[in-house]
């Protein structure tokens, strides 16, 4: 009787083990199936990315690019699918390795110089004369952001006045160069800036009135400086009628006289 009970327990344990193994196997197969379905549902496509750093103003070549597979749902707007679509275009900003090439980062080549392709829509390029000191010690490069300062001497006086003509202006070219060439300083004789037509008129006027100085700024610096003192609003108080002390016995109070 004792032996039969032991056999029954062993058979029961084996049955439970088989059931547990079958459940585990079924779970693994189910998860694998879900993974395959999810994998099939993710749509991808080839996209052009930078294989090296592409400087601002450089005409893009096939050696600058490569293609990678990217989920379609995560692609930025205007991304190029093939290398052939990008070759020959001009980089309008610095493009770093592994960056996806989009139509906002490049410009089509146009008749004439590459500089014309770098000018944004509705904007103009204006060239001003500078020297190696005014040109931020020779460290100014295409793609930099600068503030334009106009300096002029008051006629018949030794007084000199300076004012900010423009803030956060992009440098398109330094002399005849539209692409950076390292951090080595060089003598600068002319700088080409990008701005709206109305702003270009202001800069040209300031250049004819005196000298132009450029202040190099961090492109991430979006600090807006007040153009003038803030006028405080004065709130006029309404005139109040005088009150008269009235004493009635031991009670004292203030009342407004009838008008």
- Structure confidence by residue, pLDDT tens digits, 101-140: 998 888 887 555 566 777 777 888 888 887 554 555 567 7
Asked if residue 48 belongs to a domain, the reply is yes
Do 151 and 126 fall within a single domain? yes
Do 84 and 49 fall within a single domain? yes
pLDDT confidence of residue 3: 55
Pair of tokens at residue 232: 């405080």
Asked if residue 255 belongs to a domain, the reply is no
Do 135 and 205 fall within a single domain? yes
Asked if residue 32 belongs to a domain, the reply is no
pLDDT confidence of residue 229: 43
Residue 143 is given by DSSP the state: T
Cα 158 from Cα 113, distance rounded (Å): 43
Do 169 and 212 fall within a single domain? yes
Cα 173 from Cα 191, distance rounded (Å): 6
Q: Cα dist. 27→18, 21, 33, 35, 146 in Å?
A: 14, 10, 10, 12, 63
Do 206 and 158 fall within a single domain? yes
Q: What is the pLDDT of residues 5-16, one digit of tens each?
A: 777 777 777 777
Asked if residue 21 belongs to a domain, the reply is no
Residue 139 is given by DSSP the state: T
Question: Following DSSP, what letter does each residue of 48-95 receive, concatenated?
Answer: EEESS-B-TTPBP-GGGEEEEEEEGGGPPTTB-SSSTTTTT-EESS-B
Pair of tokens at residue 6: 């032991």
The predicted model gives 46-51 an average pLDDT of: 94
pTM (predicted TM-score): 0.51
Do 162 and 204 fall within a single domain? yes
Pair of tokens at residue 219: 């492109």
Residue 144 contacts residue 181 (beta carbons within 8 Å): no
Asked if residue 230 belongs to a domain, the reply is no
Do 102 and 125 fall within a single domain? no
Residue 171 contacts residue 92 (beta carbons within 8 Å): no
Domain interval for residue 61: 44-107
Asked if residue 156 belongs to a domain, the reply is yes
Helical (H) or strand (E) element with 34: helix 2-41
Asked if residue 28 belongs to a domain, the reply is no
Q: How many domains does the chain divide into?
A: 2
Q: What CATH number has the domain bearing residue 95? A: 3.90.1210.10
- Which residue, among 26, 7, 28, 8, has the nearest Cα to 18 in the 3D structure? 26
Asked if residue 151 belongs to a domain, the reply is yes
């Amino acid at each position: 009787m004792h032996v039969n009970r032991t056999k029954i327990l062993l058979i029961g344990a084996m049955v439970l083990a088989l059931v547990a193994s079958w459940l585990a196997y079924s779970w693994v197969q189910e998860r694998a199936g879900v993974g395959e379905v999810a994998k099939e549902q993710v749509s991808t496509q080839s996209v052009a990315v930078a294989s090296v750093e592409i400087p601002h103003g450089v005409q893009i070549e096939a050696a600058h690019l490569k293609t990678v597979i990217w989920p379609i749902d995560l692609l930025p707007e205007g991304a190029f699918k093939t290398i052939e679509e990008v070759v020959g275009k001009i980089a309008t900003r610095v493009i770093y390795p592994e960056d996806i090439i989009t139509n906002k980062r490049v410009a089509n080549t146009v008749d004439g110089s590459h500089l014309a392709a770098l000018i944004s829509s509705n904007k103009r390029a204006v060239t001003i004369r500078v020297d190696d000191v005014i040109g931020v010690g020779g460290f100014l490069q295409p793609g930099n952001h600068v503030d334009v300062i106009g300096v002029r001497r008051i006629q018949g006086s030794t007084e000199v006045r300076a004012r900010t003509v423009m803030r956060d202006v992009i440098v398109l070219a330094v002399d005849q160069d539209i692409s950076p060439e390292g951090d080595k300083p060089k003598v600068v004789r002319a700088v080409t800036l990008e701005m709206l037509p109305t702003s270009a008129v202001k800069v040209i006027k300031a250049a004819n009135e005196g000298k132009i100085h450029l202040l190099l700024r961090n492109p991430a610096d979006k600090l807006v400086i007040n153009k003038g003192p803030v006028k405080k609003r004065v709130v006029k108080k309404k005139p109040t009628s005088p009150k008269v002390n009235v004493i009635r016995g031991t009670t004292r109070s203030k009342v407004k006289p009838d008008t």
